[in-house]
Amino acid sequence: MNTTNRIWDYKSTETQNLEYEKLYKRFWHFGAHKSELANNKDYVIFKIYDFEVVLYNDSGNIICFYNVCPHRGARLMSDDYDCLTKGNGNILCKYHHWGFSNNKLHIPNKDEFSHCKDIDLFRLKTAYCGDFVFFSHNPQMDLQAQLGDFYNEIQTISHSINQCININDKTKFKSNWKIGIENSAEPYHLNAVHPNSLAPLNMQSTHIFCDMNSKVSGSIANEKYYKKLKRNKDLFNLSNYYEEAYFSYYLFPFIILSSTFGYSYSVQTFFPNTPQNTHFTCRSYGVHSDLNIDAWNEGVIKMNKQIFDEDSIPTKLVQDASLLSDMQLVYAKNEENRILHFHKNYNHYMGL
């Protein structure tokens, strides 16, 4: 294939393997908010490619590791493979009862393994932006450098959050991860795909670019919706991050962080699965309030699910097309310019 067109390659294992080496291994990836790992033995699990990554509270120390036992490679966490993405429990292999706690492996008949030095979990690195936890296999830069000028905003946003209110990993993106990112980066599709959810806001978008990352800030031109949203400010703590717009960050390579006015947040991860399928997860977060905002949060959960279910339909239409890797596609000058910014950085970090 023409390697300069890998950005449009949504089907080959060759391109996916290169993305694994160049993008997955070398960058920081969003994991969770600290509130999700507040208690000893709390954990969250992420599906990426054909493996799993675990974030775990080990007696107050948040660690990250691949979900395999270093003895025989058996799966360590979670009995329910399809459903359980978070929980509280021991790190214990059910095959030979190798366990881990207090920063140490516990090995039955340990003398039998005296010839093996420095046995440990298969760990990944962790870093924080405020109360957000990120992980990486072997990062080529520190987290602050990767987030760039958005670092301080995202840090403030993390402090505005008080809880995870929902994890949606049921929406199925039967498309390459790049298609999901491109769809999330542009407002051109809103009227066609989201006529009853996002389109009525009539957003007027401004795009901001920061190294490999980007942000859209969409002012609400529908006066009725704008006034209603602004009145709701009194529901939330004044110290929370606040911006009178729908705003969404794309954080290279796999992360979208979105909000309207800062009244709640969703963090979407588009982790690759197969070349033609994505491990999509949307974590919805509530923000600090002295009032009971359960009804508000329920509305957020419902709306987020609707939006991403709607998005999964046209992304599959692109996936089902053919010959894309041999074609030069066209993009709108303004509303789709964040896609071209993504393409430029993708090609740069893929070494193309």
- The pLDDT tens digits for 309-325 are 999 999 999 999 877 66
pLDDT of residue 295: 96
The predicted model gives 312-341 an average pLDDT of: 88
pLDDT of residue 84: 61
Is 60 exceeded by the pLDDT of residue 83?
no
Beta bridge partners of 133: 32, 128
Split at pLDDT 50, 70, 90, the class of 129 is very high
Report the predicted TM-score, pTM, of the whole model to 2 decimal places.
0.96
Query: Strand 255-260 to strand 213-220: parallel, antiparallel, or no bridges (unpaired)?
Result: unpaired
Is 90 exceeded by the pLDDT of residue 79?
no
Q: Cα–Cα distance between 331 and 162 in angstroms, integer?
A: 39
Q: Count the alpha carbons within 13 Å of 131 in the hemisphere toward its beta carbon.
A: 17
pLDDT of residue 325: 65
109 phi-psi bin (left φ>0, alpha ψ -120 to 50, beta other) = left
What are the structure tokens assigned to 352, written together?
């193309």
| pLDDT above 70: percentage of residues in the chain | 96
pLDDT of residue 179: 97
Beta bridge partners of 129: 132
pLDDT of residue 327: 73
What are the structure tokens assigned to 42, written together?
């709390």
Residue-averaged pLDDT of the chain: 94
Is 70 exceeded by the pLDDT of residue 301?
yes
**CATH class as words, domain 28-139:** mainly beta
Split at pLDDT 50, 70, 90, the class of 116 is confident
Split at pLDDT 50, 70, 90, the class of 2 is low
Cis preceding linkage at 139, omega within 30? no
Alpha helices in 189-261 (DSSP H): 190-193, 223-231
pLDDT of residue 78: 73
Split at pLDDT 50, 70, 90, the class of 80 is low
Domain ranges of the chain: 1-27+163-352, 28-139
Q: Cα–Cα distance between 33 and 35 in angstroms, integer?
A: 5
pLDDT of residue 3: 57
Q: Cα–Cα distance between 28 and 212 in angstroms, integer?
A: 13
Terminus-to-terminus CA distance in the chain, angstroms? 13
Is 90 exceeded by the pLDDT of residue 351?
yes
CATH 3.40.1050.10 fits 1-27+163-352, yes or no: no
